[in-house]
A and B are shown apart, each in its own frame.
Chain A
Amino acid sequence: SAVISQKPSRDICQRGTSLTIQCQVDSQVTMMFWYRQQPGQSLTLIATANQGSEATYESGFVIDKFPISRPNLTFSTLTVSNMSPEDSSIYLCSVRGGVVYGYTFGSGTRLTVV
């Protein structure tokens, strides 16, 4: 299965600033998925990122707040913009492993906004 390197692993940021999270996959994948996990909650899909086109955002998430880049088939970034304390969460990227259907997750980025 694919191996994902996600960074940073954690960060403490000032409100009003932005943080960019990176995910590098060790193999080429068509789609990458970004999730948010608020404290004590489940994983909520933010968007699906396809190489060469704009990401598709789920209801409640907008591109201005969570811009995503997908420059090639092994890399993606998620930016959390103009942060507020409500953005304090764990952010995870995920990929689907081909015909096996299995999904792999990055190690997550624990974001705290103060």
Chain B
Amino acid sequence: GENVEQHPSTLSVQEGDSAVIKCTYSDSASNYFPWYKQELGKRPQLIIDIRSNVGEKKDQRIAVTLNKTAKHFSLHITETQPEDSAVYFCAASTGQAGTALIFGKGTTLSVSS
């Protein structure tokens, strides 16, 4: 089955800096790669996703890149703000009916002002 590795487990940056979180996956059939942000006591919230027919996707300060050959994808947050502090999870799925998301172990991002 799918296995998703996520690095780093913790990341501390100064406000205004960029943050990058990287994930690798094992199943070459995976073609859907979402990123979730989870604040303390809340459910995971989708912040951006990418499908295998796209190499990069941006949404304001957030971008995701995908390298299908190398089986890795990354989350980039620019101009970080204290409210970006949270746990971020990457995930992968084949997108087929009946296929669940498999999550990485998460990255705790701390943005200090």
Contacts and interface: CB of A to CB of B under 8 A. Distances in A.
A37 to B, nearest CB: 9
Interface string B37-51: 000000110100101
Contact of B49 (A50, A102, A107): A102
Contacts of B93: 101, 103
Nearest to A47: B100
Chain A interface secondary structure, helix, strand, loop or mixed? Answer: strand
Nearest to A108: B43
B98 A94 contact: no
B104 A94 contact: no
Contacts of B104: 42
A43 B44 contact: yes
Given A42-B106, A43-B89, A101 B49 contact: yes
Given A42-B106, A101-B49, A31 B98 contact: yes
A42 B103 contact: yes
A71 to B, nearest CB: 18
Contacts of A101: 32, 49, 51, 93, 95
A105 interface: yes
Interface of B: 32, 34, 43-44, 46, 49, 51, 89, 93, 95, 97-106
Interface of A: 30-31, 33, 41-45, 48, 50, 92, 94, 96, 101-103, 105-108
